[in-house]
Structure 1
Amino acid sequence: MTDGGSEVAPASPAAVVTDRRVMLGLTFVVAFCSIAYELVYSELLTVFYGGTVLRYSITIGLYLFSMGVGAFLSAHLDDPEGNFLRTEVYLAFAGPAGAAFVIALNSFPDVVFPMKGAITLALAHGPILLVGLLSGFEIPLLNELVEHREETLFATLGGVYPRRVVRGVLGAFFSVSEAEGRSFSEVLGVDYLGSLAGTVVYALVLYPRYGLVVTVLVLGLLNGLAALAFAVWSARAPTARGGDRSLSLARWRGVVLAGLLLTGTYGGLVANAGAVDRAVTGAYMGDRIESEYQPGKADVTVTGFERTAYQRVTTYQRDVAGNADTDTCLRLDQAIQLCDSWVDSYHSGLVDVPTSAYLNESGAVSGGNESFDVLLVGGGDYIAVDRLRDYDVSVDQVDIDGEFLDYSKNESAFARYHDDAHEYDRLNTTVGDAYRYLRHTDERYDLILLDVPGARSDDSLALYSTEFYTLLRQRLSDRGVVATWVYSRYYYSQHRAVHVNTLREAGFDRYLPYSVYNDPDGDGELERGERFWLLSDGPQPVPNVTRARSDYLDAVAERYERWEWRALPSYRNVEPNSVFDPNYGVIVDP
């Protein structure tokens, strides 16, 4: 009976099935979005504050806690139709707005105030709690909305699985009975399934293809569409409890209009995903880069932005006050990789200096008829390959980012320096993880060059581990050494201490330090730039830069008259970094 006293016919079986399918479909979508929002927040926090394991662990913990709070508070909510609609619209707004909030907190690095780091870090976790709280409302509300509890989805699938076998297995550990239709179990099961789908699709599709900015817009779009689909279904479908849901639609008009506005906005932004990603990330990167200089000293213009499955590739131009030349630079994620002003000196230090230790008076690699084999780890811009080509050596290159390798072949910022080195006939490039490559190869190398970014997240820990350096040492020939750039002990003392002890643990006992020199401010005075080490567990070849094929080294040869191999130091109370026992001190915080 309705309030007016007229009877309402019970819903037909077809309507029952349709109702259930709609609600369970919505359960799947909202669970998908909720967990994916938290993955976006975890990655954003990692980008800005470092510590992948820490950020993901705290995010998951706060999310589950706030979901529990939401589920507890949902006992005070009535009108399940209206409140579920409101929850989805709120989530459609709060999810993307939370990501924007985290980015905004970190977009003004020049603003300084007491305890800024601690305060911004605490505030950055606010969106996790808000999205978790709203997600906690969803399951109790959906449970009330899934009608006809005796005809659940799992009950209709009862003949698909061997129920007697399942009961037998469960009965060995629990008290069991014949399965009954329970809407809560059904909703919760579909919710878990949606969460699984959200994690998998985020990791394999959304993040690699769209990045964080567009991914969070896609999730907002899905939440908005879920809200609108529910509003349309609720307005049209009959209810077994009686009454006409369309009578309450007028009360939801404002919420529905908000959902339409959000959905339309997100749809337009997602349709122009590439432009949105470049604009947001480019503006943020520009602000970050400018903040590295004194206020007003640098003018930065982002000229290109690409995203691969492993990193963000940003090219930009910077005009530094007092320097007449415009510098074109490259960054991978937030770490600077090269600039016009020092690309020559860096690669001379990485390639020409160590190679010169093996050159004879004519400038050819010594060793008679033996081949000279080089392993290049990284070097996806092919500039190091171009330098090695000058010495006619055999090069095995291993780089995990195949998309970046392809990008570098034609990108003008690299092409003028590598001169199509990817076509070098003695180059063998392997797209894959260097750690795995070293575990499976039997090749031995006369020189190993590490042209890889510094450790700035948990993802790069393996390339700074005792296991990795042990493999490098084992792949050296009797005369072989490893060449790598290193951080300054003055600016990165903690990182350096862990790095050195890791090298010692891996079996390296000697190193040859040297630096390159640049004129970054254009005042005509050379300053120390990138620092390098040669690493060895036995041989101690001495470079002779006068034999190298480098105009840069010819101009600064007098700075390389003294060479001294030294015993690798040891730092007390500093644990090495291992794959199975990581020391996060080797990570340089963004």
Structure 2
Amino acid sequence: MSTDVAALGTYSRPARTGLLFATFVCAACGLVYELALIAQGSYLLGDSVTQTSVVLAVMVFAMGMGSLAAKPLQRRAALSFAAVEAALALVGGLAVLALYVSFAWWDLYWPSLIGIAFAVGALIGAEIPLLMTLLQRIRRQDAGSAAADLFAADYVGALVGGLAFPFLLLPLLGQLRGAMTVGALNAIAGAAVVLGLFGAALSRRDRLAVGAATLAVLAVLGVAFAGSGVVQRTARSQLYADPVVHAETSAYQNIVLTRSAPLSAGAPDIRLFLNGDLQFSSLDEYRYHEALVHPVMDGPHERVLVLGGGDGLALREVLRYPGVQQVVEVELDPAVVQLARTEPALVELNDGSLDDPRVRVVVDDAFRWLRDATGEFDAVVVDLPDPDATATAKLYSTEFYALVREVLAPDGRVVVQAGSPYFAPRTFSCILATVRSAGLGAVPYHVTVPSFGDWGFVLAAPGGPPPLTIDPPAPLRFLTDEVLRAAAVFPADREPQPSEPSTLDDPRVLRLATSEWRRY
């Protein structure tokens, strides 16, 4: 009989239960680390498919390497398990913070992501052989039954960790502090297994080492937890040229609002960023929103649908028309709507449009909402983020524009923001082709928005290409009949080209957008 078995004596059943519960906890922690890396990468770069593929591939490979590396550690399984859990708690708990810092200061995002994913995966992979050895030392049983018990606890733990991350940790603690809290739990679980179940088999020196290492890990994580807010604020100053006046991480994205000092007697520049991408600058956003909204309003416009545009700026232009009786604003992220309703600088910019009595705000995914929508709209404004991420690519598909067509009145119009025909000409052409593939007649046009550069739009209607004209109730700051006529003319090197449409099955627009914007 081994020393560990002798130490456990007749308490093998409670000891096995305790070890399997620790397996459950460690598995939950491991999956949280994995999801935190994927989520942080999506917030920073937006390409969730690439992030997920890289993290999963590297971690699974590293888990195999970690399992092999753990073979010689089985001779001192309890002490080795304590060391592995302490290291995993430290690396996993600080993983998101390290990734954020490497992105903000050192521009080493990809090497850091791969290195951290490999380290976390290797340590997770080392857990299973050590846990199997400890389980067999408590009570020996055939390999199949032992593996079944261990993997059942492991997979159930992974389920709990996977659900806890989006529904509990992110809303309550955020990514950085959520990962640190899980790291602390991981360290405590590892120490509890070793000291509580196998402490009698360890020397006094080993017990002290395990306790000291656990306390050291908890101290590091505690300091990092307390200082994470300062690190975030300092990192944002590296990422954004102007002072950050508001920052939050919602369930969907990272939201940052900056405000520059006014130039001489001019107004300050208010800028909104979602996942690091500029959404507007207050100095020239009127150019974008006038070009987006007023051509589609030169027709029936009693009932208007706005998809996206939770900042209320497109809505502001729509509400300039006295003939508008009802507007439905569909925005995915309630945090954006709340910010646009409560931040004084944004309320002043959007004229309080989100609280106009003619407006009904719906918090929902635009694609999902359209599938269940009833009634018809005279004008539809599609003001959605660029299709450079998996989540937004579906909103530039044939299927999506077919749903838009279903809610359009027979004489209605739809306008789509279509990206830059200069920086991403193939993406622009693909969006134009996709709109047309849904049975809409479409006309492209583009204007200059200094913060964005050359920016394009697509105006469409069910009965054929609508005339590109405007009839605003009052003169606009930027858009005139002459400017709009010129907007329909493209230079020879940027004329829209024939393109295959983008679909849910083949999201060409995502591949084109990521490849073209990568150069800038």
TM range (shorter): 0.7 to 0.9
Distance in 2 (alpha carbons) for counterparts of 1:517 and 1:45: 29
Indicate the residue corresponding to 1:474 in structure 2.
Answer: 406
Query: Which sits farther off after the overlay, 60-69 or 580-589?
Result: 580-589
Whole-Å separation in 2 of the counterparts to 1:386 and 1:497: 29
* Other-structure match for 1:398: 330
Residue type at the aligned position of 1:585:
R
Change (3 A) 1:321 1:265: farther
**In structure 2, which of residues 29, 37, 43 is the aligned counterpart of residue 41 of structure 1?**
37
| Map of 2:128 onto structure 1 | 139
Partner of 1:125: 114
Letter in 1 for 2:501: P
In structure 2, how many angstroms separate the alpha carbons of the residues matched to 1:98 and 1:32? Answer: 16
Cα distance in 1 for partners of 2:409, 2:489 equals 19
Is the aligned partner of 1:350 residue 2:292? yes
SS in 1 for 2:216: helix
Q: How many residues align?
A: 507
TM-score in terms of structure 2 length: 0.86
Deviations 1:118-144 (A, max 9, x none): x86355311111111111111111112
Q: What TM-score does the superposition give when structure 1 sets the normalisation length? A: 0.77
Cα distance in 1 for residues equivalent to 2:355 and 2:270: 25
2:152 maps to which residue? Answer: 189
Report the alpha carbon displacement of residue 322 of structure 1 after superposing the two structures with TM.
Answer: 9.5
Counterpart Cα distance in 2 of 1:351 and 1:469: 18
- RMSD over aligned CA atoms reads 3.4
1:581 aligns to 2:484 (yes or no): no
**Which residue, out of 259, 265, 271, partners 2:214?**
259
Give distance in 2, aligned partners of 1:419 and 1:570: 35
The equivalent position to 1:221 in structure 2, one of 174, 180, 184, is: 184
Deviations 1:244-298 (A, max 9, x none): 33x524135345323213213434655x6xx835x444443432333xxxxxxxx
Task: Report whether the alignment pairs 1:544 with 2:467.
Answer: no
Answer whether contact 1:464 1:586 (CA < 8 A) is retained: no
Gapped regions of structure 1 (runs ≥ 5): 112-118, 153-178, 237-243, 291-299, 359-366, 521-526
The reply to whether residue 93 of structure 1 matches residue 56 of structure 2 is no
**One of 435, 443, 450 as aligned partner of 1:503:** 435
Tell me, what secondary structure is at the counterpart of 1:491? coil
Superposition deviation, residue 190 in structure 1: 0.7
Shift of residue 442, structure 1, vs aligned partner: 3.3
Contact 2:296 2:381 (8 Å CA) reproduced: no
Give the residue type in structure 1 aligned to 2:321: Y
Contact in 1 for aligned 2:8/2:15 (Cα 8 Å): no
Q: Give 1:375 shift.
A: 0.7
Matches of residues 121-520 of structure 1 in structure 2 within 5 Å?
A: 121-146=110-135, 182-234=145-197, 244-245=200-201, 247-267=202-222, 270=225, 276=228, 279-290=230-241, 300-318=242-260, 326-355=268-297, 357-358=298-299, 372-392=302-322, 393=324, 394-515=326-447
SS in 1 for 2:70: helix
Whether the 8 Å contact between 1:498 and 1:585 is mirrored in structure 2 is no
Contact 2:282–2:349 (CA<8 Å) still a contact in 1?
no
Contact (CA 8 Å) 2:415, 2:458: kept in 1 or not?
A: yes
Distance 1:404 1:410 in 2: 10
Percentage identity across paired residues of the two chains: 24
Between the aligned partners of 2:364 and 2:411, the Cα distance in structure 1 is 27
Please identify the structure whose Cα radius of gyration is greater: 1
Residue 330 (structure 1) shift: 1.1
Which structure is higher in helix share?
2
Is 1:27 matched up with 2:23? yes
| Residues 579, 125 of structure 1: alpha-carbon distance in 2 compared, 3 angstrom cutoff | same
Deviation at 1:540, TM superposition (A): 1.6
Separation in 2 of the partners of 1:325 and 1:390? 23
Give the secondary-structure state (helix, strand or coil) at the position aligned to 2:304: strand
